[in-house]
Chains A and B, each alone.
Chain A
Amino acid sequence: MFGKFLKKSKNRNPDKPLTRNIVDGRAYATLSDYQSTGGYEGLRTAITTMDSLGVQQVVKDSELRGRGGAGFPTGLKWSFVPMGEKAPETKYFVVNADEMEPGTFKDRVLMEKDPHQLIEGMVIGSYAIRATAAYIFLRGEYHLSAERLSQAIAEAYQQGFLGKNILGSDFSLDLYLHSSAGRYICGEETALLNALEGKRAIPRAKPPFPQISGLWGKPTIVNNVETVCNLPHIFFYGVEWYAGLGRGKDQGTKLFGASGRVKNPNVWELPMGTPIREILEEHAGGMQDGYQLKGFLPGGASTDFMLPEHLDVLMDFDAIAEHGSRMGTGTMIILDDKTCPVKMVLNLEQFFSRESCGWCTPCRDGLPWVVTILEDLIAGKGQASDLELLEHQTKMMGPGNTFCALAPGAMEPLQSALKYFRGDFEKYLERPVVKEAE
């Protein structure tokens, strides 16, 4: 089975479908580059041989999970969209390309290097829910992605992959690229929808979920770039092939990355369930000379620290969760032994605090307070009770207590740092208190 597809696709890296068109020395995959490896054939399969519910079923069978951080099963997410004659005529398929999680740069690679892959995935996704229009909500700073996607969208229209009666079917779709005005909260799917509507980027309460009332009040799916990039391959190579890609419980491949003081910070497509040690030591080349690994955030800034003792944990959603963190975006931030974890956490909390949309109280007023405490601590003005106060706030801003996941995410590196690196916090308390000039 695997061999058959290999032959058909002339694929250089059949075990790395997402990055198969990313070739050293080539700026990006043009339409013909993309089509030469089977591009738009997955769409053809989906749209000419299956109905929408059939497409949904394939994705359910593939057990594809969202790559934006939460890992929600994609097919299940789609299944909540009203279908059939009674369903609203207008529906939307939105791609979340607002990649703003600190330490995360995976979607950017996919969009800059192989823009058609995303577009093909979007048409498949849109067909699956019978969306009438699709949007890419792109991080404002991703100028190169915007340029390449715009060109690819124009080409796709020309070739009949977008627009009226796609590939001769009764399915039509318009696709729009929207560059964000910028803010981290726009990555939250409902805040993204508000931003796309031209409103303040604040999250919406759920329920109602976007599948029922999303963009402009219509049924809407919001999927991450990488998630959508999986779709062409699932339809081109088949579910069975897809299931064979993962090494752990989860299916498919994933873009993993590493930043910090490693020898070779980068992003790589690897099977789901690749051990963390393999990513760090083989792909990232291990720590830079003179630095020891002290800990790492496995999936971006809003995930809990893990320790060197966790290196043999597999990078899949459940395995990471078992060790108290989240796989998140799968792009690791490495903490070395010469960097102060308290200052690193302060840096992160300053980011989250600044990026709070200001809607709910715990996040809006809690995060700046956390920053104040950490600043005091580092400035030698901390008090013994501050660590308990910080711990209390990590709980107060925990999941469910805030309006969206921003503050709970912001608490993850703090709560785990307090657990794993408590000595580093306490060290600041030992310093003589510097009296502030009155």
Chain B
Amino acid sequence: MPKIEIDGTIHEVEDGQNVLQACLSTGLDLPYFCWHPAMGSVGACRQCMVTQYSSPEDTKGRLVVGCMTPVSEGLRISLNDSEAVEFRADIIELLMTNHPHDCPVCEEGGQCHLQDMTVMSGHTSRKYRGKKRTHRNQYLGPFIGHEMNRCIACYRCVRYYQDYAGGQDLGVFGAHNHVYFGRSEDGVLENEFSGNLVEVCPTGVFTDKPNGKNYSRKWDLQTAPSICAHCSLGCNTTPGERYGELRSVVNRYHGEINRYFLCDRGRFGYGFVNAESRIKTASIDHQEVVGEGNAVEHFRGLVQIQETVIGIGSPRASVESNYALRELVGEDQFYSGWTEAENTLMETALRVVRETDAANPTLAEIERADAVLILGEDLTNTAPIMALAVRQAVRNASFDAAESVGIYQWQDAAVRELAQDLLSPLFIVSTGSTRLDDVATGVYRASPDEIARLGFAVAHRLDSSAPGVGDLAAAASDTVKEIAEALANAKRPLVISGTGCMTAAVLEAASNIARALASAGKALSVVVPDCNSMGLAMMGGHGLEDAKKVVEFGVANTVVVIENDLYRNAPRELVDDLLGKAKNVVVIDHSSHATTEKAGLVLPATSFAESEGTYINNEGRAQRFFSVMQPSEEMRNTWQWLADAGAGDWSGSDDIIASCGNGLLGFKGVEEAAPTAEFRISGMKVPRQSHRYSGRTAMRANLAVSEPQQPIDRDSPLSFSMEGAAREAPPSLMSTSWAPAWNSNHAIIKFQQEVGGSLQGGDPGKRLFQPSSEANWYDGIPASSEPVDRRWLVVPNHQIFGSEPLSCGSPAVAERIDAFSVTLNGDDLARLQIESGDMLELSIEGNTTIAEARQDDGVPSGIAAVGCGVPGSEGIAWLKQAEIRKRG
């Protein structure tokens, strides 16, 4: 740890950092633009200029760029030297020569890094008298607005989009002060992580388009710490509310999970909260029930009078709600909402990740892997942010190469230049092309069973005591050898698998590989479908087929479904039978869907935005989300409906989660994910509203001039007001970061242990899985399967926009959902005389559906990749042989 002198004070700083990082990490303010903690330095903007003195005798010093100057023992610099101060103000003045003075109407105003840095630099009045250059703006799709006149040319957007996220369709054009950042022509930004441009851009060039349509300032938004509900990774988010509507979701820094970035599904998928499809009141037989009390009475009467009630849980409902349902109906009457096949798959996923002797990595650890095998998962579409992490992991080879010639990791351009296309090994074994193929060392396409067989063979090659695959094809053997060698040679080899191809053997093969690896740094990550899939799997529950049977046999006559549209995944006949034959069907959910249509009693639930709850992510981390806003009067948290019907008399969220932690095996400590409702800082709660929140007395003035009392939140340590202690909040309760002079999201620097590191006080969440070494060799190796002539094996084609139900209800995301499609390779399409875009008929076991044809030559012959979860795909029987013909 070198000691450096900054303006006469000695600071101990992290070795290998640059001066800007060191200054920020020590808590000093030094303005910057082109540097980003996740993207390193390029030295373009010249904003972080400091004075460096060459010796103790040197009094004049010379200006050096902070982000490009490495720290070294005895380094002497000054931030306050007048020459450096003047230069930094001059840079702002130069940026301002073309920057419009439209802060009052700019969406970035109030959360603008450029505003912050301008004030920090001290520049106030301009001397420039010339005209400002103007640009034409582009249509970039439903997510991102574009206002190029505001551009200060920091180049962060293109560095993020191209270099970090692997996008191809955003670039820099032109030269001198006419440089233009956009697409070659108007059009939807293709990259799945485009929304981060909004946060990466230091000013208002790239803006959150859905938010812009009905805009509120950052300080006017009521926010709460939340967890993304749109995949299993549990990215931390900050949703913002105004006038009872959710207006935006922005990244909430978590040092081990999402850090600075979200995927577009997570950022723009919240629209369902405001949608017309919200269930606002209880209804009986489609007739509205007036009064919450009446609905409760009715529900309670129903479940108490009936002899046998079964409960059907949900992977997108909180731990609390699933637990309450389980308590209401009893363990034996609790059904997961998954089919038998899905149950088996999830049990396997849970077992594999719990029993492995490999590390269960955080996303930050995934970024540090030096060899990666993705077995059967299309990460960009099933766990998007993990794909972004893998895209960073492949750069580890270039960091090693850079280090060997004295280039620091943060010298971003230099590292990329030196490395060129040198990448750490990444092997992708999948059923079709993936969006990570461009950085893969090797790709191997096969059916799910063949993927499992390949995985088992890799494990056997790594450790001969693992069961081998006797009849592996010759082509596959070379791949097996290549993958095994790459993993064996790595210090931190990582295997990623998941439920994506709906085949338990794939997960078991991944487990065998992880077990077979010798390296102490090995890791195994498993991806599951939904935000609380892991929590539900931990709770257990029977399959839907059993539910149908008990209803059919009259063992049960009442079915309570929570937050689950059973028609989405399960076969239609199964659900029809189950719901049709039950005497009473109760559905508690926040949005209407095919299942609520079948319910006699529908009870309005709160969404994540109006409730507190816990999700357990793919790594077994329990994380708490808090209500951002008050629900409308009739809506209640699902578990509260269940509690009132007799599930338990929990006094609040803390009580039920503690009860779950104590009562259910494997949930011990789940309540530690966040402080209890009694938590106070100097006697104060943590406010949901910023200290600049405006309009509190005016917002309702059209209804009544008296200001109502602020709602009281007895259920959490947060308050629905401006009052309280915001800056001292522990990370799990901190929704937005703000520090004096730092109004943009870069304020997070003030809350990190070091720049880009963990949050002060520790990253939120409670990891429930303990390290284990119980894994045994799995030997359920699928038999080799030959393609059947004129039949196609139906495999799921996951789509970032479309496969996850909640985000489909968001208007912005809905614009991006592709039609229900069947993807085949070009040869298969030609054989069927079908062209991409044609309509085709897909017949599985006598059921025929219509879909649009798509071509992907990465899909092996004999396989049909069918849009999974998108409207039209309901009830598809997966992994069956199908007939396909052109629609006549």
A residues touching B (Cβ–Cβ < 8 Å)?
Answer: 183, 200, 204-205, 207-208, 212-213, 216-217, 353-362, 364-369, 372, 376, 385, 389, 392, 396, 400-403
Q: Most chain-B CB neighbours within 10 Å: which of A207, A353, A355, A358?
A: A358
CA distance in complex: A392, B87 (Å): 10
**Does B413 reach chain A (CB closer than 8 Å)?**
yes
> Are the C-beta atoms of A368 and B46 separated by less than 8 Å?
no
Residues of A within 8 A of B42 (CB): 205
A365, B46: Cα distance in complex, Å: 12
A400 touching B94 by the CB < 8 A rule? no
Q: List 16 additional contacts besides A217-B418, A358-B178; criterion CB under 8 Å.
A: A205-B413, A212-B406, A213-B405, A213-B418, A356-B177, A357-B175, A359-B155, A361-B91, A362-B46, A365-B98, A365-B177, A368-B130, A372-B128, A385-B127, A401-B87, A402-B46
**Given A205-B414, A213-B414, also A369-B407 (CB < 8 A):** no
Contact among A204, A359, A372 with B417 in the assembled complex (CB-CB below 8 Å) = A204
Q: Which residues of B contact A361 (CB under 8 A)?
A: 44-47, 91, 94-95, 152-153
Instruction: Check if B87 sits within 8 Å of A403, measured CB to CB.
Output: no
B46 in contact with A207 (CB, 8 Å): no
Q: Which residues of A contact B62 (CB under 8 A)?
A: 400
- Can you show 12 pairs from A to B with CB atoms below 8 A apart? A205-B413, A208-B406, A217-B419, A353-B176, A354-B175, A358-B153, A359-B155, A361-B94, A361-B153, A365-B97, A400-B64, A401-B63
Contact present for B176 and A354 (CB under 8 Å): yes
Please indicate the chain B residues that have their CB under 8 angstroms from the CB of A389 in the complex. 127
B62-90: contact bitstring with A at CB < 8 Å (1 yes, 0 no)? 11100010000000000000000001001
8 Å CB contacts to A: which residues of B404-433?
Answer: 405-407, 411, 413-414, 417-420
Measured between beta carbons, the chain A residues less than 8 angstroms from B94 are 361-362, 365-366, 369
B385 vs chain A, min Cβ distance (A): 29
Report which of A208, A357, A366, A385 forms a contact with B405, defined as CB distance below 8 A.
A208
Contact B417 A217 (CB under 8 A): yes
One digit per residue, 1 when the CB lies within 8 angstroms of any chain A CB and 0 when it does not, for chain B 235-258 equals: 000000000000000000000000
Q: Are B176 and A357 in contact (CB under 8 A)?
A: yes
Bound state CA distance, A208 and B418, in angstroms? 9
Flag whether B725 is at the interface (Cβ < 8 A). Answer: no
Given contacts A208-B406, A361-B44, contact A396 B176 (CB under 8 A): no
Chain B residues contacting A402 (CB-CB under 8 Å) are 46
B43 within 8 A of partner (CB): yes
Contact (Cβ within 8 A) B175 A358:
yes
Q: B44–A200 contact, CB under 8 A?
A: no
Q: Is the CB of B175 within 8 A of A207?
A: no
**B49 and A401 contacting across the interface, CB-CB below 8 Å:** yes
Instruction: Report A-chain residues with C-beta under 8 Å of the C-beta of B419.
Output: 217
B contact residues vs A (CB 8 Å cutoff): 42-47, 49, 62-64, 68, 87, 90-91, 94-95, 97-98, 127-130, 152-153, 155, 172, 174-179, 405-407, 411, 413-414, 417-420
A360-B46, A361-B45, A361-B91 known; A204-B414 Cβ under 8 A: yes
When the two chains form their complex, are residues B46 and A403 in contact, meaning their CB atoms are under 8 A apart?
yes
The answer on a CB contact under 8 Å between B153 and A396 is: no
Residues on A with C-beta less than 8 A from B43 are 205, 360, 403
The distance from the CB of B163 to the nearest CB of chain A, in whole angstroms, is 12
A355, B174: Cα distance in complex, Å:
11
Q: How far is the CA of A204 from the CA of B90 in the complex (A)?
A: 23
- Give bound CA distance, A208 to B152, whole Å: 27
Interface residue from B87, B175, B411, B417 paired with A396 (Cβ < 8 Å): B87
Q: Give the distance in Å from the alpha carbon of A217 to the alpha carbon of B413 in the complex.
A: 11
On whether the beta carbons of A368 and B172 are closer than 8 Å, the reply is no
Are B97 and A369 in touch, CB under 8 angstroms? yes
Report Cα–Cα, A402/B419, bound state, in Å: 26
Identify the closest chain A residue to B33 (Cβ).
A361
A206 to chain B, nearest CB (A): 9
A216–B420 CB distance below 8 A: yes
Which chain B residue has the least Cβ–Cβ distance from A185?
Answer: B175
| Residue contact A208 to B414, C-beta cutoff 8 Å | yes
Q: Which of A204, A216, A358, A385 contacts B177 (CB 8 A)?
A: A358
Residue among A359, A367, A389 with most chain B CB within 10 A: A359
Give, as a whole number of angstroms, the nearest-CB distance from A85 to chain B: 16
A362 and B90 CA atoms in complex are apart in Å by 9
Quick check: B417 and A213 within 8 Å, CB to CB?
A: yes
Collect the chain B residues with CB atoms within 8 Å of residue A216's CB.
Answer: 420
Give the residues in chain B near A207, CB-CB below 8 Å.
Answer: 406-407, 414
* 4 pairs of A and B residues whose beta carbons are closest in the complex: A372-B130, A365-B94, A358-B179, A217-B418
Residue of A nearest to B130 (CB): A372
Please indicate the chain B residues that have their CB under 8 angstroms from the CB of A360 in the complex. 43-46
Q: Which residues of A contact B153 (CB under 8 A)?
A: 358, 361, 364
Task: Known contacts A213-B417, A217-B417, A401-B87; decide if A358 and B128 are in contact (CB<8 Å).
Answer: no
Taken together as a complex, chains A and B put the C-alpha atoms of A376 and B127 apart, in Å, by 13
Q: Which residues of B contact A354 (CB under 8 A)?
A: 175-176
Which of B46, B63, B155, B407 is A208 in contact with, Cβ under 8 Å? B407
Residues of B within 8 A of A217 (CB): 417-420
A183 to chain B: closest residue by CB: B175
Q: How far is the CA of A263 from the CA of B417 in the complex (A)?
A: 49
| Cβ contacts under 8 Å, A376 to chain B | 129-130
A200 and B158 CA atoms in complex are apart in Å by 12
B87 touches A358 (CB 8 A): no
Bound state CA distance, A362 and B130, in angstroms? 16
The verdict on A364 contacting B46 (CB below 8 Å), with A372-B130, A400-B62 known, is no
Task: Report chain A residues within 8 Å CB of B98.
Answer: 365
Contacts of A212 on B, CB cut-off 8 Å? Answer: 405-406
The answer to whether B406 and A401 have CB atoms under 8 Å apart is: no
A401 touches B46 (CB 8 A): yes
Q: Which of B44, B49, B64, B176 contacts A355 (CB 8 A)?
A: B176
A367 to B178, CA, bound (A): 12
Nearest-CB distance from A394 to chain B (Å)?
12
Q: Which chain A residue has the least Cβ–Cβ distance from B133?
A: A368
Residues on B with C-beta less than 8 A from A356 are: 175-177
CA distance A9 to B45 in the complex (A): 54
Return the chain A residue nearest B96 by Cβ: A365
Minimal beta-carbon separation of B488 from chain A (angstroms): 26
The closest CB in chain A to the CB of B45 belongs to A361
Q: How far is the CB of B154 from chain A (nearest CB, A)?
A: 9
A365: chain B residues at CB < 8 Å are 94-95, 97-98, 177
Q: What are the residues of chain A within 8 A of B49 when measuring CB–CB?
A: 401
Smallest Cβ distance from B175 to chain A, in angstroms? 5
> How far does the Cβ of A346 sit from chain B's closest Cβ, in whole Å?
14
Which of A200, A360, A364, A400 has the most chain B CB atoms closer than 10 A to its own CB?
A364
**In the complex, what distance in Å separates the CA atom of A353 from the CA atom of B178?**
11
A134 CB, min distance to chain B CBs, angstroms: 19
Whether B129 and A372, one on each chain, are in contact in the complex, defined by CB atoms closer than 8 angstroms, is: yes
A364 touches B407 (CB 8 A): no
Chain A residues with CB below 8 A from B174, complex form? 358
What residues of chain B lie closer than 8 Å to A400, measured between beta carbons?
62-64
State in angstroms the CA–CA spacing of A362 and B49 once bound together: 12
Cα(A368)–Cα(B95), bound, Å: 12
Question: Would A369 and B130 be within 8 Å (CB), given that A205-B413, A355-B176, A356-B177 are in contact?
Answer: yes
Q: Are A358 and B414 in contact (CB under 8 A)?
A: no
Q: Which residues of B contact A396 (CB under 8 A)?
A: 87, 90
Distance, CA A364 to CA B414, complexed state (A)? 22
B407 partner residues in chain A, CB cutoff 8 A: 207-208, 213
Q: Find chain B residues with CB under 8 A from A367 CB.
A: 176
| Cα(A355)–Cα(B177), bound, Å | 10
Give A403 to B420 CA distance when docked, in angstroms. Answer: 22
Smallest Cβ distance from B120 to chain A, in angstroms? Answer: 16
Least CB separation from A184: chain B residue: B175
Q: How far is the CB of A399 from chain B (nearest CB, A)?
A: 10
User: Of A183, A362, A389, which is in contact with the most chain B CB atoms at under 10 Å from its CB?
Assistant: A362
Bound complex: CA A355 to CA B414 (Å): 24
In Å, the complex CA distance between A108 and B519 comes to: 60
Cα distance A93–B624 when bound, in Å? 59
CA distance A400 to B84 in the complex (A): 13
- Inter-chain CA distance A230–B863, complex, in Å, is 66
